C-alpha cells in the first residue's frame, strides 16, 4: 500500500493511507488568510468510536476559517491545546462533500462508499443536556466542526461524527454539494426555527448581505415559503444577482450613512441625525416592498454596523434573528423600541440535524440553488479565504476542490 496518494488519486475503496495532504494553519502564520494556509503532509487521524473517515472531494469556504486564520477572536489551536489536544496545527473546513472511506466502531447509518455532504454541527450525543431533551445545537458540548474541532474538510481525509453525514443530493456536483450546507441550514434555522416568528406567506423579510452566502440562501428560502425578501447589498452587480435569486427589491447600503453604534441618547443632535438616516432607510424599504409595512423578520449577521437599524425597522412583535457579527460585536440596542413594540432579538447558531436534512431536501428538489459562484483548487484555499476577508469575493457560496477533478464541476445551478 502507498503511504500517501496524490490529490485526486483515489486509493482502492476503503484503503486508508498513513499520510495525507492537508491545507494547514499554524499559530506562527496567524494573520491574513492568504498567507496563513499552507499545504503540508500530515498523518491521517485515527478513527474513534462513532466516527467516520470521509475521503473529501470538495469543501466549502466560509467565515469560520477566515477567523481561524486570523487567530481572532479565538486562537483555535491554543484553545484546543489548553484542553489537552496534542496537535499544534489546525486543519479547518466546516463543510464539504465526499465518500465514506472508513467507519469506526459504533458508527450508525453510514457505510463505506456512501456519497455524503458533511454538516458542521458537532456535539456529544451522550451529553446530559441532550439526553434530557435539549436541541443538540444548543448543547454545552456543541462545536463548529472544522473550526473549533481539528481535521476538517481541507484535507484528503476528514474526521467526522456519523450523524454529520447527510446523503448527497444526486443532482449536485461535488463542488455544489460542498457549498450550501453551512449557510443554507443556518439561514433555514433563522427563518423557520423560532416559532412563532417564522416566515409566513405574504410577509416581508429584510435580509442583510443579500448576495452573500447566508443572504443568497435566505432569499431563496423566504421565497420558497411564500415570504417577500427585500435584501441589502453594496453594489449594483450584487443587487442584480440578488434580484435574480428572487428578492422583490434591493437596497444599496452605500446610499445611507447612519451605520455603526448608536449615538449617546444625551447627544440629541447626533441622535436626531441617526433617526433621519434610519427613517430614510425605512422609507426605501417601503418603496421596494410597494407598501408601508415593516419586516416581520430581519435576518442579521452583520452585527455592530446594522443592529440598531434592524431593531428599529422590525415590525411590532417581529424578530431580529442574528447568527454573526462580521462588522463587530457591540450591537447597540435602544431598549425602548424593543419593549414598547414587543420585538424579539434572537440569537441563532447553525442548525440541528432535522434542519440540515430539510434544507437538503429543498436543494435536492430544486427549490434552492447552492449558488456556487467560485470554485478554487486546493492551493487556492488561502486565497479564497482572503477574498472573503476583504469582502471581494463573488456573490453566493464558494467551494474548493480537494480530491475532485475540474471536469466533474458541472453546474446544476442557474445563478452563477
Ligand atoms: P458573506 O458571503 O461574506 O456575506 C456577508 C455579506 O455581508 C457580504 O456579502 C456583504 O454584502 C455584507 N456585509 C459585509 N460587511 C457589511 C457591513 N459593514 N454592513 C452591511 N453589510 C455588510 O458571508 P456569510 O457566509 O454570509 O457569513 C456572514 C456572517 O455570518 C459571518 O460573520 C459568518 O461568520 C456568520 N455566520 C454564522 C453562522 C452561524 O452558524 N453562527 C453561519 C454562517 C455564517 P454587501 O457588501 O453586498 O452589503
Q: What is the mean pLDDT of the chain?
A: 96
Ligand 1 atom closest to residue 350's alpha carbon, by position in its atom list: 40
Per-residue model confidence (pLDDT) at position 413: 53
Question: Is the N-terminal amide bond of 196 cis, ω within 30° of 0?
Answer: yes
Helix axes 353-364, 213-224, angle to 10 degrees: 80
Q: Are strands 90-91 and 51-61 parallel, antiparallel or unpaired?
A: unpaired
**Largest pairwise CA distance in the chain:** 74
**Ligand 1 contact via 301 beta carbon (within 6 Å):** yes
Per-residue model confidence (pLDDT) at position 412: 57
Question: pLDDT (tens digit, 9 = 90+) per residue, 362-374?
Answer: 999 999 999 999 9
**DSSP result, 19-66:** EEEEEEE-GGG-SSHHHHEEEEEEEPPPP-TTEEEEEEEEEEE-THHH
Q: What's the pLDDT band for 416 if we cut at 50, 70, 90?
A: very low
The pTM of this model reads 0.96
Question: pLDDT (tens digit, 9 = 90+) per residue, 110-162?
Answer: 999 999 999 999 999 999 999 999 999 999 999 999 999 999 999 999 999 99
Question: pLDDT (tens digit, 9 = 90+) per residue, 13-33?
Answer: 999 999 999 999 999 999 999
**Ligand 1 contact via 360 beta carbon (within 6 Å):** no
Question: pLDDT (tens digit, 9 = 90+) per residue, 290-348?
Answer: 999 999 999 999 999 999 999 999 999 999 999 999 999 999 999 999 999 999 999 99
Per-residue model confidence (pLDDT) at position 184: 98
Question: Is the N-terminal amide bond of 73 cis, ω within 30° of 0?
Answer: yes
C-alpha dihedral sign at 142, 146, 150, 153? positive
Q: Is the pLDDT of residue 411 over 70?
A: no
Question: pLDDT (tens digit, 9 = 90+) per residue, 391-406?
Answer: 999 999 999 999 999 9
Of 53, 82, 67, the residue nearest 25 (C-alpha): 67
Per-residue model confidence (pLDDT) at position 407: 82
Q: Is the pLDDT of residue 415 over 50?
A: no
**Ligand 1 contact via 211 beta carbon (within 6 Å):** yes
Q: For residue 405, report the distance from its CA to the centre of ligand 1, in Å.
A: 29
Question: pLDDT (tens digit, 9 = 90+) per residue, 221-244?
Answer: 999 999 999 999 999 999 999 999
Q: How many CA atoms lie within 13 A of 226 on its CB side?
A: 5
**Ligand 1 contact via 233 beta carbon (within 6 Å):** yes
Three-state helix/strand/coil letters over 339-365: HHCCCEEEECCCCCHHHHHHHHHHHHC
Q: For residue 65, report the distance from its CA to the centre of ligand 1, in Å.
A: 13
Please state, in angstroms and rounded to a whole number, the distance separating the CA atoms of residues 348 and 279. Answer: 27
Long-range contacts of 74-80 (CB under 8 A, 24+ apart): 74/148, 75/27, 75/30, 76/147, 76/148, 77/25, 77/26, 77/27, 78/27, 79/148, 80/148, 80/149, 80/150
Residue nearest to atom 11 of ligand 1 (CA): 209
Q: For residue 310, report the distance from its CA to the centre of ligand 1, in Å.
A: 15
Q: What's the average model confidence in pLDDT over 183-206?
A: 98
Among 63, 66, 122, 245, which residue has the most ligand 1 atoms within 8 Å of its CB, making it the best to mutate? 63
Please state, in angstroms and rounded to a whole number, the distance separating the CA atoms of residues 113 and 98. Answer: 9
Question: Which class for 94: exposed (0-12), middle (13-18), buried (19 or more C-beta within 10 A)?
Answer: buried
C-alpha dihedral sign at 258, 260, 262, 263? negative
**Ligand 1 contact via 237 beta carbon (within 6 Å):** no
Q: What's the pLDDT band for 265 if we cut at 50, 70, 90?
A: confident
Per-residue model confidence (pLDDT) at position 81: 97
Q: For residue 13, report the distance from its CA to the centre of ligand 1, in Å.
A: 39
Q: What's the average model confidence in pLDDT over 92-99?
A: 98
Residue nearest to atom 24 of ligand 1 (CA): 213
**Ligand 1 contact via 253 beta carbon (within 6 Å):** yes
Q: Is the pLDDT of residue 99 over 90?
A: yes
Please state, in angstroms and rounded to a whole number, the distance separating the CA atoms of residues 261 and 338. Answer: 16
Per-residue model confidence (pLDDT) at position 223: 98
**Ligand 1 contact via 323 beta carbon (within 6 Å):** yes
**Ligand 1 contact via 234 beta carbon (within 6 Å):** yes
Q: For residue 324, report the distance from its CA to the centre of ligand 1, in Å.
A: 8
Please state, in angstroms and rounded to a whole number, the distance separating the CA atoms of residues 115 and 70. Answer: 32
Q: What's the average model confidence in pLDDT over 69-92?
A: 97
Amino acid at each position: 500500500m502507498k503511504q500517501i496518494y496524490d490529490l485526486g488519486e483515489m486509493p482502492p475503496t476503503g484503503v486508508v493511507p498513513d499520510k495525507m495532504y492537508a491545507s494547514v494553519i499554524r499559530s506562527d502564520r496567524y494573520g491574513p488568510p492568504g498567507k496563513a494556509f499552507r499545504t503540508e503532509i500530515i498523518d491521517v487521524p485515527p478513527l474513534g468510536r462513532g466516527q467516520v473517515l470521509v475521503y473529501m472531494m470538495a469543501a466549502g469556504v466560509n467565515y469560520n476559517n477566515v477567523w481561524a486564520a486570523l487567530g481572532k477572536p479565538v486562537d483555535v489551536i491554543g484553545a484546543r491545546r489548553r484542553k489537552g489536544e496534542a496537535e499544534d496545527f489546525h486543519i479547518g473546513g466546516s463543510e464539504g462533500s465526499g465518500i465514506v472511506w472508513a467507519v469506526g466502531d459504533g458508527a450508525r447509518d453510514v457505510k463505506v462508499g456512501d456519497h455524503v455532504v458533511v454538516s458542521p454541527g458537532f456535539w456529544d450525543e451522550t451529553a446530559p443536556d441532550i439526553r434530557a431533551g435539549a436541541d443538540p445545537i444548543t448543547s454545552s458540548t456543541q462545536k463548529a466542526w472544522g473550526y473549533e474541532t481539528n481535521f476538517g474538510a481541507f484535507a484528503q481525509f476528514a474526521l467526522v461524527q456519523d450523524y454529520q453525514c447527510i446523503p448527497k443530493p444526486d443532482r449536485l456536483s461535488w463542488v455544489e454539494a460542498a457549498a450550501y450546507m453551512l449557510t443554507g441550514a443556518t439561514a433555514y434555522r433563522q427563518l423557520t426555527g423560532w416559532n412563532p416568528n417564522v416566515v409566513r406567506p405574504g410577509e416581508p423579510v429584510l435580509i442583510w448581505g443579500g448576495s452573500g452566502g447566508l443572504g443568497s440562501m435566505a432569499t431563496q428560502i423566504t421565497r420558497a415559503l411564500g415570504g417577500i425578501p427585500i435584501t441589502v447589498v453594496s453594489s449594483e452587480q450584487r443587487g442584480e444577482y440578488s434580484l435574480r435569486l428572487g428578492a422583490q427589491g434591493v437596497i444599496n447600503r452605500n446610499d445611507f450613512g447612519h451605520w455603526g453604534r448608536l449615538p449617546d441618547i444625551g447627544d440629541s443632535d447626533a441622535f436626531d441625525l441617526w433617526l433621519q438616516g434610519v427613517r430614510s432607510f425605512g422609507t426605501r424599504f417601503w418603496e421596494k416592498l410597494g407598501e408601508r409595512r415593516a419586516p416581520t423578520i430581519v435576518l442579521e449577521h452583520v452585527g455592530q454596523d446594522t443592529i440598531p437599524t434592524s431593531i428599529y425597522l422590525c415590525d411590532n412583535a417581529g424578530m431580529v434573528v442574528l447568527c454573526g457579527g462580521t462588522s463587530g460585536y457591540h450591537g447597540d440596542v435602544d431598549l425602548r423600541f424593543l419593549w414598547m413594540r414587543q420585538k424579539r432579538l434572537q440569537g441563532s447558531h447553525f442548525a440541528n440535524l432535522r434542519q440540515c436534512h430539510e434544507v437538503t431536501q429543498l436543494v435536492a428538489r430544486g427549490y434552492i440553488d447552492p449558488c456556487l459562484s467560485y470554485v478554487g483548487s486546493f492551493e487556492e484555499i488561502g486565497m479564497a479565504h482572503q477574498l472573503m476577508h476583504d469582502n471581494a469575493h463573488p456573490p453566493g457560496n464558494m467551494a474548493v476542490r480537494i480530491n475532485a477533478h475540474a471536469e466533474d464541476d458541472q453546474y446544476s445551478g442557474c445563478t452563477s
